[in-house]
Amino acid sequence: MFKKVLVANRGEIALRIIRACRELGIATVAIFSEADRAALHVRLADEAFCVGPGPSARSYLNIPNIISTALITGADALHPGYGFLAENARFAQICADHGITFIGPSADVIAQMGDKANAKEMMKAAGVPVTPGTGVLASPADAASGARKIGYPVLLKATAGGGGRGMRRIMEEGELENAFRAAESEAEANFGDGRIYMEKLILHPRHIEVQVLADSHGGIVHLGERDCSIQKPSHQKLIEEAPAPGLDAHVRDRLCAVAVTAAQACEYTNAGTLEFLVSGDDVYFMEMNTRIQVEHPVTELIYGVDLVKEQIRIAFGEPLGFGQGDLSPHGHAIECRINAEDPDRDFAPAAGLVSAVELPGGPGIRVDTHLFAGLAVPPYYDSLLAKIVAVGRTRASAISRMERALAETRIEGVKTTVELCGEILRDPRFVDGAVPIDFLPDAFMVERERALAQA
């Protein structure tokens, strides 16, 4: 097994990786920015190196300093977590060139899947159903001709994208030019790559994704689906669950089979997620995320598999210790993302000092967090503070556990999404299950704003 893993991330996912390493008997090296000097991952790792100042471009994205840290400390592997350098093919290649095992798929596969337009073409060729769309768009005029061919409404997306950044919905041609410019500059700012492509906007779909694990010996399994349809207006996920409520068995089987086919088509190794839009019986491949995802705990809780440990074992070259027949889901799990942001002000990020923290516990509750009382939330990074995950025998019991856990949660000093998550869980439409991705931005938040204005 690896002797020492460099954890190239921060926040809760850095802790998650450190925990997996410790349980496997692997030493850890944390990296941190000056803004994270007091962070929990710095304290829990065996060694810690400062790689730059607060802004991530100069610290968590500082490839020379991160690689240098790995070489100086003698780390033989590197776990990128999610975000930052997790889907940067060049970085994965640089790790390989320096004899450091990148815990994830090969640089080639990351590059293939990271170019979202190219990934769709590849999947289409492999027989995977995709949404109608265009290649990379050179100009707003190019976009307009593409949109006329596909038919409005359309969605502009960043080819290097993820997490909803660089995405714009366009209902008619008049909105196109401004939206194109905005998506382009947002993509450039977030990913250093301003290339944009277009897809047909599927109305009222659900976002359902399939987790796969593939080893380097041809072994591959899926670990079912996650429903991530509760998304903020920015398309970022807020509440995820597994299995997807009310999904027809034949649609589920088709999704999982397609996911395995797709992963095999690109000779995928390690943990990956294939994201689909589901509308009735129709499924459309959106993109493949070549990394561990934020919402991986809901899958872990119903399958009893530690996905991060599996990532590490696969990267070391071990074969999967189980086959598809050994895997079956038990119960239902829900995750709420507790973000430092103000739902009453368009989810504006809320940096500041967390003065008090009380986290939930008890039966069926898992909390993945880097929070502690006295933590100063820096303004530079993702706003995720904690993931509260509830598991129960049924969806109803998972929901009631989650409601109870949210009621126990107290985070003072910064605005968070705790109360909003509770409100969503109590909404009869959520309780019924199978809400589409437009439910939160176009219905729930609009109604909520109206109610707040009247109060």
Neighbours of 38 (CB within 10 A): 12
Rg (CA), the chain: 21
Which CB, 42 or 244, lies closer to other proteins? 42
Q: Kindly state the smallest distance separating residue 45's Cβ from other proteins, in Å.
A: 7
Given the residues 168, 252, 291, 366, select the one marked as catalytic: 291
Name the residue among 163, 166, 171, 164 with its Cα closest to residue 181. Answer: 166
Return the number of the residue (30 or 128) whose C-beta is nearest other proteins.
30
Minimum CB distance to other proteins smaller for 63 or for 434: 63
DSSP 143-202: HHHHHHHH-SSEEEEETT-BTTBT-EEESSGGGHHHHHHHHHHHHHHHHS---EEEEE--
Q: Which of residues 323-362 bind other proteins (CB under 8 A)?
A: none
CB of 442 to other proteins, least distance (A): 44
Exposed/middle/buried for residue 136 (C-beta within 10 Å: 0-12, 13-18, 19+): middle
Phi, psi of 345, rounded to the nearest 5 degrees: -125, 60
Residues 75-114 that bind other proteins (CB under 8 A): 98
Of residues 230-249, those binding other proteins (CB under 8 A): none
Nearest approach, Cβ of 65 to other proteins (angstroms)? 4
Q: Restricting to residues 34-63, which ones interact with other proteins according to CB under 8 A?
A: 34, 42-43, 45-53, 59
Give 266-277 as a DSSP string.
Answer: TT--EEEEEEEE
List residues bridging with 7 in a β-sheet: 30, 79
Minimum distance from residue 17 beta carbon to other proteins (Å):
16
Indicate the residue among 33 and 416 with the shorter CB distance to other proteins. Answer: 33
Q: Report, in Å, the least distance between residue 191 CB and other proteins.
A: 24
Q: Select 12 or 36, whichever has its Cβ closest to other proteins.
A: 36
In the residue annotation, 393 being an active-site residue is answered as: no
Q: How far is the CB of 42 from other proteins (least distance, A)?
A: 6
The residue within the footprint of other proteins, chosen from 72, 96, 407, 446 (CB under 8 A), is: 72
79 vs 415, which CB is nearer to other proteins?
79
The token pair at 370 is 């880097």
Residue 18 is encoded by which pair of tokens? 């450190």
Strand pairing class (4-7; 77-79): parallel
Contacts of 170 (CB under 8 A, 6+ apart): 147, 152, 153, 154, 155, 156, 176, 179, 201
Contact between 64 and other proteins (CB under 8 A)? yes
DSSP code of residue 324:
G
**Rounded to the nearest whole angstrom, what is the least distance from the CB of residue 61 to other proteins in the complex?**
13
* Stretch 192-211 residues interacting with other proteins (CB under 8 A): none
What's at 95, amino acid-wise?
C
> Do residues 351 and 315 touch, judged by C-beta distance below 8 A?
no
How many residues make contact with other proteins (CB under 8 A)?
23
Pick 34 or 427: Cβ nearer other proteins: 34
Q: By CB under 8 A, which span of 70-78, 106-114, 308-316, 321-329 interacts with other proteins?
A: 70-78
Q: Which amino acid is at 282?
A: D
Kindly state the helix (H) or strand (E) to which residue 251 belongs, with its residue range.
helix 249-265
Active-site residues: which are they? Answer: 291
Residues within the interface to other proteins (CB under 8 A): 34, 42-43, 45-53, 59, 64-69, 71-73, 98
